[in-house]
Structure 1
Amino acid sequence: MLIRRLIFIGFAFVTFHAAAADDAAQQAPQTTPQRVLFVGNSFSYFNNGLHNHVSSLIKAAGKWQTGTNRYRLKTLSGGRLAEHVDGFSSLIKQPTGREWDVVVIQGHSSEPVEPKRQAGFIRAANELIKQVRQHKATPVLFMTWGYAGQPEMAQMLADNYVQLGNAQSALVVPVGLAFAQIARQHPEINLYSPDVSGFDEAGNTIYDATIKHPSLAGTYLAACMFYATFYQQSPLGLAYTAGLDKSTAETLQRQAWQTYTQFYGEAK
């Protein structure tokens, strides 16, 4: 199996005990999965589900095969990876001929970078990856994004997901890096949706200070990133825009491909 070296940008996050990201090989995408299960939390189910947007991009490209392609989503609101471990084997077990090609694993937004939760995140990820492989499927790690206005968190998440992927020879989809690039280059595109924390006496909405969930544009960017990775092709020009204006959609499509080519080192 072809292994490519990762061009890694950033600093090593020393609390992870896997091999340093720039000293290990990064698995590059090699095949196009037809049956994909996404496992995660609200980062994946916001905006009618990430899997539906990826499916729509595939259909817009004329690549969807009814009866062959199957994309599903299993989430737990606020869930950490450890909460998915029990019963996971039965979840991913499918009848013969309907097995999953890929299982996408998405952790809690902050557990890879919180000192008290990192060890649990790694243990759970390793267990889930093992179970996925026992079912003859390929595990894929969903690199999530940093919270709005926290670029240092975005880099730590990227570092840690890459280190975990390298340690397990597992593919990493660099959604978080695409988010960070859009935040730097196109701040006019809002990738986030604030959470409501309550209302004041006048009935005005009070929002959480921490802004982390994806807007429709954020979910669409993530979907474009998965399309680029799964098909090793640019989503630029695909007609499906999720209802975003064409200019915004094209900017997100273009960024997904740019992130893909930079992350894996070359375009296919």
Structure 2
Amino acid sequence: MSKLPIRAFVLVGMMLLASASPLAQITKADPQIELQVDMNHMILTPGESMNLTLTIENNGSSIEDYDVETTTAGLSSLWTATPTSSSVGNVLPTYNTSTTVVVQLAESATPSDNGMFTIVVNETDGSASSSIDVYVSVAVVYNPHLDATGVGDQGLLSIQPGQSVDLSIPVSNHGSVMDSYLLSVGEEPDLTGWWANYSSSGSTNTTNPPPSWSGSVSDVLTFGNSYTSANSLSSMLEELLRSADSPSNTSDFTTGGWKISDHWDDVNTSGSAQNLSLATGVWDTVIVQDQSQVPGFYRTNADWLASKNGSINLADRIDSEGAAMMLMMTWGRRNGDALNPTLYPNYTVMQDRLEEGYIDYRDNVSLSTSAEIYVAPVGLAFKHVHDSITASGGNPLSPTSTFYNLYDTDGSHPSTSGSYLAACVLFAALTGDSPVGLTDNTTMDATLRLTLQQAAAEVVFNGTSTYSYPWESSGTIQPMNQHSSFPAGWEVRWLDDQIENLTANGQETATLRISIPSDANPGATGVRLYAGSLFGNLTTSTLMVVDVQATYDLQVDFLSAGDDFLPGQQTNSSVRLTNIGTTSASYDYALSVLSGPCTA
């Protein structure tokens, strides 16, 4: 996009030149026929029609009839200039008459079709002839267009709970000049913010406005273990912060296997490096990470209780140094934990237990202290990647999947992409700004980088109200959330929300992702899609409707498995019918005997 300002300048320069140098009206006149038009330069928008008035004055000595014609040689065929009458008659000497020429411009015209046509007037019975040139220009028009009629049934999309679809939405330039568009869902895109960021960042841009938090988020200290030392997570976070123009510094203390209680012991040791670093008071936020298994342990477990108490003590000390504490929720192991198969039989169960543990740490801190305490849901970003693959019919445990490759070979520690995802979540949780579009020095594939950035933004900005963040209380920082009006758990977003340098009358396809949670209520929800013109500073929108279908499912539980059924005796047993669908339903049921000498 580095050429955008140049193009805009050239366009404005051409317009200024045109206004400063009026086009000369050129006539080839016989003294006996004087011609005038009410406009010597006509500017039409594509698809427009305009009437031109031609005045013919008879300077001869006799009554005359005149033939009127137009010549468009050299003019684009997208223009037509047609006299309403091919002749006028009985014009007295020294008198004049007027006729009309209808000028039309096709819808597909662009400024490259500018030119001129000539009106020629001849005496019907003589040799006198005059002509006049009229210049015509195509107006500069900006007109983005979205077409959702191809989605579902004329824009009505039926979708099942738990389903995720990627929709191809045509985005067209119905304007007359090249343009670039920002796309959004639910609210108009921030065109002003885009240009402000473009000007301040040296002609490079993402669709994010300049970070309003950059002056307040500066220094971040991390207490972690091998999960955070792997791939230098602290350095990754610093690079993301600085790429967004935040003058940030990060530092960390990481020891393999360390628990929160160990971090507290370090901080509480007089003269220790951790104690001295925290005592400097330079840190704005202190990130604290527990050992990878402890948060999900039973609440009576000694290690869990030690981490809970360590969280309270650390939060109180961090608060006394003028900083906020942010717990970094880690991720479940890829295949669960073989050392704790009952607690952690698989990834999903382990992730859920870890989440509950970090929430309990936070809640205990809030009950016991007045310290600022937050949770960065890194583990939920791993879960988002996992569940997205499952929802699309894939296998997250396939060695080629994005989820599988978030882990190092041990299935526990993060790979480079896993650490990068963690850094993106921390960035969003700390700043309130989306990491989508940020640049960095990692060598990962651009598509993978974007996927991880989007996953991080999704869990921070569109997660549940369980989590709060430091930027929510300031009133000056707002997260980029284009679809907060959708039901909880919905994901509605453009996979790429920017279309660059789309030619006039051109069209590209943008992909809109809609993911519906498995417990979504049935019913119709309107989804308004926006396209904003960067050069025209205007926005258009279209509406589609997502109709979540009802699911019908019944669970039958036999509640009397311990009953004895004796020959010749009647036994009353209980059966529970549970509606596990998403809507109310009526069911007919009957009992039948599959085998044995009994009746039911």
Which of the five TM-score ranges fits, normalised by the shorter chain?
0.7 to 0.9
Residue 99 (structure 1) shift: 1.6
Aligned-partner Cα distance in 2 for 1:88–1:109? 20
2:312/2:364 contact within 8 Å kept: no
2:459 to 256, 259, 263: 259
Aligned-partner Cα distance in 2 for 1:147–1:83? 22
Corresponding residue number in structure 2 for 1:43: 227
Aligned-partner Cα distance in 2 for 1:98–1:163? 27
2:378/2:422 contact within 8 Å kept: yes
Aligned-partner Cα distance in 2 for 1:92–1:241? 32
* Partner SS state of residue 46, structure 1: helix
Corresponding residue number in structure 1 for 2:323: 137
Higher helix proportion: 1
2:296/2:354 contact within 8 Å kept: yes
1:101 to 284, 296, 305: 284
1:50/1:219 contact within 8 Å kept: yes
1:161/1:172 contact within 8 Å kept: yes
* Partner SS state of residue 152, structure 1: helix
2:317 maps to a residue whose letter is Q
Corresponding residue number in structure 1 for 2:425: 225
* Partner SS state of residue 39, structure 1: strand
Residue 81 (structure 1) shift: 1.6
1:241/1:249 contact within 8 Å kept: no
Aligned-partner Cα distance in 2 for 1:123–1:144? 19
Q: Which stretch of the first structure deviates more once superposed, 184-193 or 147-156?
A: 184-193
Aligned-partner Cα distance in 2 for 1:147–1:103? 25
Corresponding residue number in structure 1 for 2:305: 119
1:197-245: CA deviations, max 9, x gaps? xxxxxxxxxxxxxx21001110000000011111111111112162110
Residue 60 (structure 1) shift: 1.9
Corresponding residue number in structure 2 for 1:162: 359
1:37/1:102 contact within 8 Å kept: yes
Aligned-partner Cα distance in 1 for 2:380–2:413? 16
Q: Which stretch of the first structure deviates more once superposed, 113-122 or 216-225?
A: 113-122
Q: Which stretch of the first structure deviates more once superposed, 141-150 or 234-243?
A: 234-243
Aligned-partner Cα distance in 2 for 1:95–1:154? 31
Give the structure-1-normalised TM-score.
0.75
Alignment of 1:56-67 (within 5 A): 56-63=239-246, 65=247
What's the RMSD between the two structures over aligned residues?
2.2
1:124 maps to a residue whose letter is G
* Partner SS state of residue 112, structure 1: helix
Corresponding residue number in structure 2 for 1:176: 379
Aligned length: 219
Residue 164 (structure 1) shift: 2.0
Give the structure-2-normalised TM-score.
0.35
* Partner SS state of residue 312, structure 2: helix
Aligned-partner Cα distance in 1 for 2:425–2:278? 29
Aligned-partner Cα distance in 2 for 1:164–1:96? 23
Aligned-partner Cα distance in 2 for 1:132–1:146? 27
Higher relative contact order (CA 8 A, sep 6+): 1
Residue 168 (structure 1) shift: 2.3
Corresponding residue number in structure 2 for 1:193: 408
Aligned-partner Cα distance in 1 for 2:437–2:262? 39
* Structure 1: runs of 5 or more not aligned: 1-30, 196-210
Aligned-partner Cα distance in 1 for 2:234–2:278? 21
Does the C-alpha gap of structure 1 residues 112 and 59 become closer, same or farther in structure 2, counting only changes over 3 Å?
same
Q: Which structure would you say has the larger Rg?
A: 2
Aligned-partner Cα distance in 2 for 1:152–1:97? 40
